[in-house]
Every structure is written in structure tokens, then in C-alpha cells.
Amino acid sequence: MTKPKQTPETPQAPNYQYDAIIIGTGPGGEGAAMNLSKSQKRVAVIERQRAVGGGCVHWGTIPSKALRHSVSRLIEYKANPLYRFTEKPQRHTFQDILNHASAVISKQSNLRSSFYDRNRIHLYQGDASFVDAHTIKVQHEDGSQELLTAHTIVIATGSRPYRPPEVDFSHPRVYDSDTILSLKHNPQRVIIYGAGVIGCEYASIFKGLGAKVDLINTRDRLLAFMDAEISDALSYHFWNSGIVIRHNEEFSKVEGSEEGVILHLQSGKRVKADCILFANGRTGNTNDLNLAAVGLKADGRGQLKVNENYQTELDNVYAVGDVIGYPSLASAAFDQGRIAADAIVQGNSADKLIIDIPAGIYTIPEMSSVGKTEQELTAAKIPYEVGRAQFKHLARAQITGTEVGSLKLLFHAETKELLGVHCFGERASEIVHIGQAIMEQKGPGNNVEYFVNTTFNYPTMAEAYRVAALNGLNRLCD
């Protein structure tokens, strides 16, 4: 067929190298890149590090969870009665357990790299910055530069630990949640400043390795976004294991020496340790993108505003993952990237991020939740009932020696609709998904009686749902 002649009324579309360029190869960037490629789009991704995976694979989710797993198994070994009369293992160091984490990081990065190859996505290594709305400059390690053009740009640059300017992070005893992975000495006492998710997870890790831990919390309770009963269980477990929690404290300065650090608190207290892990907040990685070139501006935390399709104020520029803030979860970031890709291809996406996003906190033991907390239901004046199952009563927990913890179900007192699931204990982040699957059912499928009327394998931790459901239903007033 003969092509129609171009006229001033039918201008030629710009000849871009790519349909889309994604900046960053973390979960958000990966989700966008893969979905766009499967929609037959020409896709390029730019990664500043030498290996793909972003902070999730190299500094955040994967390393800390691999470290946590190794320490958790060590704790179980020490507590197992089969080994009580044999020679006790020597104390493991942070470097010992890092070996396992390094192997997992390598496997994950290689796997994710194969995804880009398989989907014919062009990968560029270097620092990306905007030249204009359709042009990205890639600054390579060797000093060379190249310009890439695309119709659409997706910013998926993630976040980094917040570093207060008055703290000297170049000091060899001062770390953030990225640099802690390069810890070379074996600390006997550790200060963790910030009792959020990252701070609590590393408090578990260092305590499990035998270190004394001071956990400095700038708020009045741990993980206040969780159900109060569950976060209180973690607080008690920390206290019982010897972790010192200092609530409502702010630092005034960090004094470093060759032997360690002294943390000066605004309350007048001084805390001494071999090192400090500063884990109080994160900042979006937008400062090197030259956003001013396209008229975009990040907020004070380096984050970008987006609409429901993850589109920024610039029509052809999208942003996903930690760089847009809440919920700042790897699992959600991947979905955000996938949804943004649908919006790019179709002009709008019918898919949306689910409302009840599960939270998994990999302390020792784990915490996990999905749906409403008791505090939220009470404030909303929703009549609800509570069903509980103590892990110490489950045969599977007794067999595996993981009896610490419980499952808590919140359901509507009249309709019996499941409203919230909260779990504390080993494998909590896995167990919670059974309840999530029921909560996502609309209509009569979402009913706590499902757990009574179904048959669970025995013995399993999943059986906790039947026990908790019966416990809660027995509380209902006739």
C-alpha cells in the first residue's frame, strides 16, 4: 500500500530511538520495563550501578532478609534441645552471615539481568539526567556521554537513607542502612537510631548475633502503624531479649572516636557503643536527575507527585516506587510499574494498586498484617469481634520450636466479613496471605466462617486460622 503524502495537516511524528526509557532497575523499573516490552514497545533501561536490581536487591530488601534468615536459624539451633549437650557453636560474626546474603544478592541480580536480555530490552549503565522532556543524557563511568531519546520516560530511581548534615557518615563507626553491609569489625554493642521497620529488623539481627543493642525511638511506641497489640508484642519480645528501647528521644550530636561512638540525646542522656546505625527515614533519588530541565520539582524528601496512573505533572513522564513515597514497598513498586506501563500503552489503566496492601516486617519473630487495625475500626465505630490463636497451642509450632507468636482476626460482628489479619511469629509474612485471599473476595466469599468450614492440612501453621475463627465466633452475642 502506498503511504499517504505528508502534509502540514498530518505532520510526521518525532523519530525517537525508543518508545520508553526507564531510569532504574529496581522492582518499579522492572515492572514497567517488562510490561512495556510485552506490549511490543521499544524499551531501554538505565542503571547507575554495574548490576541490575536496584536498592531492593543490593542494599535493602534482599540483603537484610537474607541476614535475618541466617540469624534466625542460628537462634533456632541454639534453642534446639537436640544440641544442648553437644559443643556450642562459636559466636558468628556479621561478616560470617554476610556470605550467605552475598550469594543471594548475586543470584537475584543475575536472574533479573536475564529478564532484560530475554525481553530484548536495551540496558545502559551510567548516571541518567534530563536534557529535555524526551532526551536523557547517560554519563558513563569512563567519562563518556550519550543521549537517548524516547516518547515516554519512567522515573524509578528509588530512595536512599536520609543523612542529617550534622552527622559525619565518613567516620568508620557511623553507618546507614546501605553502608552497614560493609561492616568489617565485630561490634559488641550497637546503637540503632530510628525504630522504624529497618531499625527494628537490624535490632533483631544484631541481638541475634549476641550484641547489646540500644534502639532509639523518636516516637512513643514501636511501629505505630501496626495494630497496637501486635506492636506491643514486639516491644515485649525485644525487652525480654535484652534490647534497650529508648522512646521519645532525639539526638543532638554523634561523637566518634577510634574505639566507637557516643550518641548525645536532647534529653541529656549519653549512649556509648562500638558503632551506630542511623536508620531514621529515607530520601527519594531525584537530586541528580536535572528535573529543572523539564520543569519538575521534588518535595523536601526528594519525592515526586503523581496521579492515579503514576503520571507526573509532565504528560510523558511517569514515576513509580520509593521515589513517589507511600507505600515504599518492593511488592507495591513492581505493581506500580506494571500499572504505569498499562497507562502508557492504553492512555489509562483499569488496574489499581489494591487498597489493603499487606505489610511484612522481618524482625525476629516476624510481624505481618493486612486490613484494618482495632484502633481504626473503633474510631470508625464499626462493630467487630476478635478471634485469636496462640502459636504455642499449634502442633506444627511445637514441632518446629517456634511457639512465640499468635494470629489475630478482626471481623464484622454482624456480617462476619473479615476486616483485618494481624500476625506475630515465625513465618508471619507467609501466613497473612491466607487471610488476604479471603479479604479480597467480594460479597459472601469474604466470611470468617470459611476458616471453620474448610479443611486444613494437619499439622500446619495455617491451622491457626481455624482456631482463631472458632475463638472469635464463640465470642459473638446471640
Cα torsion 431, 449, 332, 30: sign? positive
Q: Is 195 annotated as a binding residue?
A: yes
Tell whether residue 322 is among the known ligand binding residues.
yes
Q: Is 404 annotated as a binding residue?
A: no
SS3 content of the chain, % helix, strand, coil (to 5): 35, 25, 40
The answer to whether 51 is a known ligand-binding residue is: yes
257 annotated as belonging to a binding site for a ligand: no
Sign of the alpha-carbon dihedral angle for 226, 360, 179, 215: positive
Residue 188 marked in a binding site: no
53 is in an annotated binding site: yes
Q: For residue 163, say whether it is annotated as part of any ligand binding site.
A: no
Distance CA 425, CA 234 (A): 9
50 labelled as ligand-binding?
yes
Q: Is 325 annotated as a binding residue?
A: no
Q: Which helix (H) or strand (E) holds 137?
A: strand 135-139
Q: Burial level of 4, CB count in 10 A (0-12/13-18/19+)?
A: exposed
Residue 268 assigned as binding residue: no
281 has binding-site annotation: yes
Cα–Cα distance measured from residue 316 to residue 320, given in angstroms and rounded to the nearest whole number: 14
Is 194 flagged in the annotation as binding? yes
Under DSSP, the state recorded for 150 is E
d(CA 26, CA 42): 19
On whether 95 is known to bind a ligand per the annotation, the reply is no
CA distance 275 to 458: 46
Q: 502534509: which residue's cell?
A: 7
Residue 157, annotated as binding a ligand: yes
54-80: b (≥16 Cβ within 10 Å) or e: bbbbbbbbbbbbbbbbbbbebbeeeee
Annotated binding residue at 49?
Answer: yes
287 grid coordinates: 537530586
CA atoms of 310 and 31, how far apart (whole Å): 13
Contact 249, 267 (CB under 8 A): yes
* 474 vs 478: CA distance, rounded Å: 10
- Is 56 a known ligand-binding residue? yes
7 is in an annotated binding site: no
Radius of gyration of the CA atoms of the chain, in A: 25
Reading the block at residue 344, the C-alpha cell is 502508557
Provide the edge-to-edge strand list for the sheet that holds 418-425.
Answer: 359-361, 367-371, 418-425, 405-412, 384-390
The residue whose grid cell reads 559443643 is 87
Binding site per annotation, positions for NAD(+): 194-201, 281
- Point out the annotated binding site: 47-56, 65, 157-159, 194-201, 281, 322
Annotated binding-site residues for FAD read 47-56, 65, 157-159, 322
